[in-house]
Structures are given as C-alpha cells and as structure tokens.
C-alpha cells in the first residue's frame, strides 16, 4: 500500500488525500508520457478507502456505487477489497460481473429502466446470475413479471427526505426515485407475488457533509421502522450512499465513524444494514492533469485557457462544483501570485473549471492539476464540440482507457442499427 505524504503530517490510510499529496514529479512524468488532458487513478488509494469503510461498518454490507467510476481496475480493486456492487444500468451490471463481483453481491437499482436493460439483466439472471433487482415503481414489477423474472427483488422507497451538495443531486425527496413511502408496504407484498422479496432501499442524495447528517439519520430511522412493520423482516435494508468528501483545502474530512455511529443508532431493526457509497471510494483516488494553452489579461481577471473543459470534467459546469486547481510547473514563491479564471476549450460560457483561483503567474505550456476528480469525472465526460474523451492511466502508468481519437468520434455513423 502506498504511503500518502500528506501536507499536514498524517500518512498512510488517512481519511483524505489532498491534491497537494500527489507526487508532482510522477504526475509531470505521466503527463509527458501520455499527454493531456489525462485522468490519473490510484488503485492503492481506492483500496485504502474501501478498507476504511469496511472498518467503520464491520457488521454491514458495503456496496460500491459503480456509477462513480467504472474503470475495470477500480472495480477489480473494490471487489478484491470485499465490497459489493450497486449498479444503475445493465451496462454497469455487465461491468461488475465482468470484473469478478459474485452475482449475489450485485444489486441493480432500476430507475425507470429501459426495456433493453431489463431484457439483458433478466437474460443474465436466467443464465444463472442470482443478482438482486431493486424496483422503484410497481410497473417495473410488471415489466419483470412479463419477462418471467421471479428472482430476488428489493423495493426502493421514496424516504421523503433528501440532502446533497447541490439540488440536482438531492435524491431522497425527488418523486422519480422509489415508490411513495405510503405505498411501500403494499409494494413489498406485490414484490413477493412476483419473486423473492429480499430488501428495502432508499438513498438520500449525494455529497452529504458531516455537518448535515440529519436527513440521513431520518432516512435510516424511517427505513428501519418500515422494515419492522412488514409481516416478515427483509433480508437487508440499504440506506444508500452519499458520504461527502472534502473538495476545498479547508474542508475537513468526513468523520466516517461518526456517520457509522449515527447510522447504527437510527437503524433499529433486524435486517442487515447495507450502505452504498460511490464518491467516498474513488473521489480522492483520482486527479486530472491539464495543460495551459492560452493566457490572456482582461480588465476583470487573467484568463487561463486549458485543454480540459466541461467535456472532460462536467461537475463545475453542472453543479458549480469546486475542484482545487494547482500548478505543477511553478510554485507560488517563484512567480507572482495571480488570480485566474480557468476556462476550457468548449464554446459554452459554463466551460469554467474555476474562478478567482490564485496560481503562480500562468504561462502557456504550464501543467495544472485539478484535484479530487476520481468520482463522476471521466464517467461524465462527453464528446460535445467533437472533443475526444481524455485518456485515463493508473499512477503506475498502466492504461485504463486510451485517449479517444478524431476517428473514434465518427465510428458510430452510418451502417445498420443493431
């Protein structure tokens, strides 16, 4: 396991790896070998995060929310560490199975599932994959029954309480997720008529900070009460994920033991507890490298143009999310500290990775890092503006995903529909 050389003197499996803790020489070498924009992922750090979660929740099942980062090396590391997999689509189920997760440890959360997803998952189930399907609407039970599915079923419940780092990821009170709370008991009975009813599920939202655990606690209490009220206790109750991570230098790390204590205190029922964090597992195991391509003084600020943008890392444009930007080419002591607007190459005003960021006076060709990008970074990349998606490598220099080429951009055009 790699030692993390944290700026504040803590080492090894510390609760957070800050952008400054990545070895700058190594990142510079990777950028010169593979080019930019480049995502770097550190599987050792993924493993540390898994171990910390398992340590905090020794009596629970910890599922990894695969959507945060589906890289094969990440999935294999998480599986090897002993976590299960929470999947949001047939594609994620396929990736989880291919990476070695036992089907019994795969829980597929079907949100308004496309017919093709259900067709695929039911086919894999028929071939012997004894996974669990979590439904959030009675009509999804109907769709499964029509396909002859009578396997393991979990009912997702709308807990009527939400939280998250942004309104767009506050899930628990959004009507599209889960059966209405008042309908949960009947939906559980309906599930038993279709297949084997094994669990209840709810999720509060994503990026919940330690200061704001009250919604999570309410959710856990409500779900435990619901499980207790059923004629027969379900095998498990998943209370979702959402554990936040620090993005700003001054943010404290999440006190995972406090989260676990609060969860256990509110979880007064006989079922097995399941938690399903995504971000916590991978966020600080990833960093994005980008090159300065243009520098411009304006009346308002110094504009630093870089080769990564909203098509590389969507979170700032979509959620006004903050990611620390650092120079790997100069220190603040060597060049004049300069307040900068860091902007990408996409023709959208939203294509800004950071505003009012103080960098050593930027120069064309400088290498910058954009921190804490292991979760929902590459996963949300797109080819808008015909920008090929970036490459992804491990800290050891293994290719995780090759850089897309201009030829890749048109490879789906023409030909027959399958």
Ligand X SMILES: N[C@@H](CCCC[NH3+])C(=O)O
Binding ligand X (rule: CB under 6 A), the pick from 206, 238, 290, 329 is 206
322 touching ligand X, by CB under 6 A: no
Residue closest to ligand X when measured from CB atoms: 376
Q: Which CB atom, from 113 or from 240, has the smaller least distance to ligand PLP?
A: 240
315 touching ligand X, by CB under 6 A: yes
376 in a labelled binding site: yes
Say which entry of ligand PLP, ligand X, none residue 242 contacts (CB below 5 to 8 A, set by partner kind).
ligand PLP
C-alpha span between 353 and 308 (Å, rounded)? 8
Say which entry of ligand X, ligand PLP, none residue 60 contacts (CB below 5 to 8 A, set by partner kind).
none
236 touching ligand X, by CB under 6 A: no
276 in a labelled binding site: yes
Say which entry of ligand X, ligand PLP, none residue 316 contacts (CB below 5 to 8 A, set by partner kind).
none
Say which entry of ligand X, ligand PLP, none residue 315 contacts (CB below 5 to 8 A, set by partner kind).
ligand X
Least distance to ligand PLP, CB of residue 109, Å: 5
What 3 state SS string does the chain have? Answer: CCCCCCCCCCCCCCCCCCHHHCCHHHHHHHHHHHCCCEEEECHHHHHHHHHHHHHHCCCCEEEEEHHHCCCHHHHHHHHHHCCEEEECCHHHHHHHHHCCCCHHHEEEEECCCCHHHHHHHHHHHHCCCCCEEEECCHHHHHHHHHCCCCCEEEEEECCCCCCCCCHHHECCCCCCCCECHHHHHHHHHHHHHHCEEEEEECCCECCECHHHCHHHHHHHHHHHHHHHHCCCCCCEEECCCCECCCCCCCCCCCCHHHHHHHHHHHCCCCCEEEECCCHHHHHHHEEEEEEEEEEEECCCCEEEEECCCCCCCCHHHHHCCCCCEEECCCCCCCCCEEEEEEECCCCCCCCEEEEEEEEECCCCCCEEEECCCCCCCHHHCCCHHHCCCCEEEECCCCEEECCCCHHHHCCCCCCCCC
Least distance to ligand X, CB of residue 205, Å: 8
C-alpha span between 371 and 381 (Å, rounded)? 16
Binding to ligand X in span 207-226, by CB under 6 A: 207
Residues that bind ligand PLP (CB under 6 A): 65, 68, 86, 109, 169, 171, 203, 206-207, 240-243, 276-280
Q: Which CB atom, from 39 or from 243, has the smaller least distance to ligand PLP?
A: 243
138 in a labelled binding site: no
319 in a labelled binding site: yes
Least distance to ligand PLP, CB of residue 223, Å: 13
The two structure tokens encoding residue 24:
């700058």
Binding ligand X (rule: CB under 6 A), the pick from 22, 101, 149, 376 is 376
Q: Which CB atom, from 132 or from 206, has the smaller least distance to ligand X?
A: 206
Q: Which CB atom, from 120 or from 380, has the smaller least distance to ligand X?
A: 380
Spell out the residues 6+ positions from residue 285 whose beta carbon is closer than 8 angstroms to its own.
Answer: 17, 41, 42, 43, 45, 46, 49, 74, 374
169 touching ligand X, by CB under 6 A: yes
C-alpha span between 104 and 85 (Å, rounded)? 10
374 in a labelled binding site: no
Spell out the residues 6+ positions from residue 24 whose beta carbon is closer than 8 angstroms to its own.
Answer: 328
Say which entry of ligand PLP, ligand X, none residue 243 contacts (CB below 5 to 8 A, set by partner kind).
ligand PLP
Least distance to ligand PLP, CB of residue 351, Å: 24
Say which entry of ligand PLP, ligand X, none residue 86 contacts (CB below 5 to 8 A, set by partner kind).
ligand PLP
348 in a labelled binding site: yes
Of 87, 154, 340, 347, catalytic: 347
Longest dimension (CA), the chain: 70
C-alpha span between 246 and 165 (Å, rounded)? 11
Is 340 assigned a catalytic role?
Answer: no
Least distance to ligand X, CB of residue 170, Å: 10
Q: Which CB atom, from 4 or from 171, has the smaller least distance to ligand PLP?
A: 171
Least distance to ligand PLP, CB of residue 164, Å: 8
Say which entry of ligand PLP, ligand X, none residue 240 contacts (CB below 5 to 8 A, set by partner kind).
ligand PLP
The two structure tokens encoding residue 340:
């900068």
Least distance to ligand PLP, CB of residue 110, Å: 10
242 in a labelled binding site: yes
Cite the active site residues.
347
Annotated binding site: 242, 276-279, 315, 319, 348, 376
- Interacting residues with ligand X (CB under 6 A): 169, 171, 206-207, 315, 319, 376
Annotation: binding site for pyridoxal 5'-phosphate: 242, 276-279, 376
């Amino acid at each position: 396991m790699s030692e993390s050389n944290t700026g504040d003197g803590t080492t090894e499996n510390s609760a957070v790896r800050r952008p400054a803790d990545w070895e700058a020489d190594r990142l510079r070498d990777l950028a010169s070998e593979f080019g930019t924009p480049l995502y770097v992922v550190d599987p050792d750090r993924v493993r540390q995060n898994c171990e910390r979660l398992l340590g905090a929740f020794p009596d629970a099942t910890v599922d990894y929310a695969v959507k945060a980062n589906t890289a094969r090396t990440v999935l294999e590391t998480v599986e090897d560490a002993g976590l299960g997999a929470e999947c949001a689509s047939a594609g994620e189920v396929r990736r989880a199975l291919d990476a070695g997760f036992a089907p019994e440890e795969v829980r597929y959360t079907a949100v308004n599932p496309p017919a093709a997803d259900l067709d695929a998952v039911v086919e894999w189930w028929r071939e012997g994959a004894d996974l669990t399907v979590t439904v959030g609407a009675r009509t999804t039970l109907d769709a499964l029954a029509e396909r002859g599915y009578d396997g393991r079923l979990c009912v997702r419940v709308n807990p009527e309480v939400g939280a998250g780092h942004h309104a767009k990821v506050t899930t628990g009170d959004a009507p599209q997720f889960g059966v209405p709370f008042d309908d949960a008991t009947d939906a559980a009975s309906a599930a038993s008529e279709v297949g084997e009813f094994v669990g209840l599920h709810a999720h509060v939202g994503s990026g919940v900070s330690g200061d704001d655990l009250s919604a999570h606690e309410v959710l856990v209490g409500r779900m435990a009460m619901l499980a207790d009220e059923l004629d027969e206790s379900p095998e498990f109750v998943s209370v979702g994920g959402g554990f936040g991570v620090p993005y700003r230098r001054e943010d404290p790390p999440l006190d995972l033991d406090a989260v676990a204590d609060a969860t256990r205190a509110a979880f007064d029922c006989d079922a097995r507890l399941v938690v399903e964090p995504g971000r916590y597992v991978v966020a600080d195991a990833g960093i994005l490298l980008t090159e300065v391509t243009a520098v411009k003084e304006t009346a308002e600020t110094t504009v630093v143009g870089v080769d990564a943008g909203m098509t590389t890392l969507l979170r700032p444009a979509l959620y006004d999310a903050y990611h620390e930007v650092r120079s790997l080419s100069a220190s603040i002591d060597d060049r004049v500290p300069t307040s900068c607007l860091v902007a990408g190459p996409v023709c959208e005003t939203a294509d800004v990775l950071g505003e009012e960021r103080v960098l050593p006076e930027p120069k064309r060709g400088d290498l910058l890092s954009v921190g804490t990008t292991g979760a929902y970074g590459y996963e949300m990349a797109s080819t808008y503006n015909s920008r090929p998606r970036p490459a992804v490598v491990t800290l050891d220099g293994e290719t995780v995903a090759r850089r897309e080429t201009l030829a890749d951009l048109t490879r789906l055009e023409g030909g027959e529909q399958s």
